[in-house]
């Protein structure tokens, strides 16, 4: 007999009705939430919905992604119901609450905003220490070693929108990790691995930070996003080596994040800022 896809009692399915009641509609910060059992990529699906006029605040959650993508189209895979796999549609390029659109040059802070919101929500709800690796990785500590437990992918859609996809390994066991350097909240000793409260906490945290950031016209200083990101970013202060297109490398100390969300590296030739789209790999210097 073929095992039921719902037979893993340690990984119960999410409840779409309860999630909608908690975070979407008149009583919640998001305009709509859909839950699907499986899809290729929630980001690809929400980008398509955005092109069809979906409103800001659209959320798509999947129990399983069969073609999940990270930055630079790297593959992200995990067993069904083992993590959080979802995407949200934001439209910073549209007026909101009587305010003008957020200037495009400040949109680079949105992936960092999502990182801050996700890390703080998971730390508070799961009871596990989290850190951020610039630009888009969520780190936890397993056996004294920092490992990647999640990632964030932002994709522009049209002139006004941005889709942010988030993947977090929640209950993956050691033998299920895609690579030895990966991790999960469970392996990091999380007190809570129930995906329902974790997802609710992350969605509310993103909405709260987005409201603050929009009210400040996307200014990272006025919203204090820059300070909060710097406080939780494990990359800053470390020796790093950025691999850039064309085979160029930039080595030095990661000293800060500039006003456009780019990483500032101080090397032998002075300081240079690099954007997420310009970096192929960012590694510790040996």
Pick from 206, 232, 258: which residue ends a domain? 232
Phi-psi region of 73 (alpha: psi -120 to 50; beta: other; left: phi over 0): left
Q: Answer yes or no: do 146 and 125 share one domain.
A: yes
Range of the domain at 70: 16-232
**Domain CATH for 96:** 3.30.930.10
- 4, part of any domain: no
**Domain CATH for 263:** 2.30.30.100
Q: What is the pLDDT of residues 227-285, one digit of tens each?
A: 999 999 999 999 999 998 888 899 999 999 999 999 999 999 999 999 988 888 898 87
In Å, what is the CA distance from 210 to each residue of 35, 205, 207?
Answer: 22, 8, 5
The overall pTM is greater than 0.95: no
- H or E stretch at 201: helix 195-215
Q: Answer yes or no: do 215 and 279 share one domain.
A: no
Quick check: 163 and 172 in contact, CB under 8 A? Answer: no
For the cut 50, the answer to whether the pLDDT of residue 4 exceeds it is: no
Pick from 232, 250, 274: which residue ends a domain? 232
């Amino acid at each position: 007999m073929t095992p039921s896809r719902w037979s893993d009692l340690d990984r119960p399915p999410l409840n779409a009705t309860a999630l909608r009641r908690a975070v979407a509609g008149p009583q919640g910060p998001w305009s709509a939430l859909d839950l699907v059992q499986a899809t290729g990529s929630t980001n690809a699906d929400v980008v398509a919905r955005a092109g069809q006029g979906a409103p800001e605040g659209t959320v798509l959650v999947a129990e399983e992604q069969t073609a999940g993508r990270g930055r630079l189209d790297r593959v992200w895979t995990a067993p069904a119901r083992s993590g959080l796999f979802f995407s949200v549609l934001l439209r910073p390029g549209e007026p909101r609450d009587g305010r003008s659109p957020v200037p495009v040059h400040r949109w680079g802070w949105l992936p960092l905003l999502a990182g801050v919101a996700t890390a703080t929500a998971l730390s508070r709800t799961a009871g596990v220490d989290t850190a951020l690796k610039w630009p888009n990785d969520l780190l936890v500590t397993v056996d004294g070693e920092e490992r990647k437990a999640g990632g964030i992918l932002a994709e522009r859609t049209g002139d006004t929108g941005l889709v942010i996809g988030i993947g977090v390994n929640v209950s993956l066991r050691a033998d299920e990790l895609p690579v030895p350097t990966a991790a999960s909240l469970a392996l990091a000793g999380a007190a809570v691995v129930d995906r329902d409260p974790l997802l609710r906490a992350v969605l509310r945290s993103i909405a709260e930070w987005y409201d603050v950031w929009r009210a400040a016209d996307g200014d990272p200083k006025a919203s204090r996003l820059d300070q909060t990101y710097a406080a939780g970013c494990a990359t800053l202060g470390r020796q790093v080596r950025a691999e850039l297109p064309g085979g160029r490398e930039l080595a030095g100390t990661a000293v800060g994040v500039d006003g456009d969300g780019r990483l500032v590296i101080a090397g032998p030739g002075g300081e240079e800022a690099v954007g997420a789209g310009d970096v192929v790999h960012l590694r510790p210097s040996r």
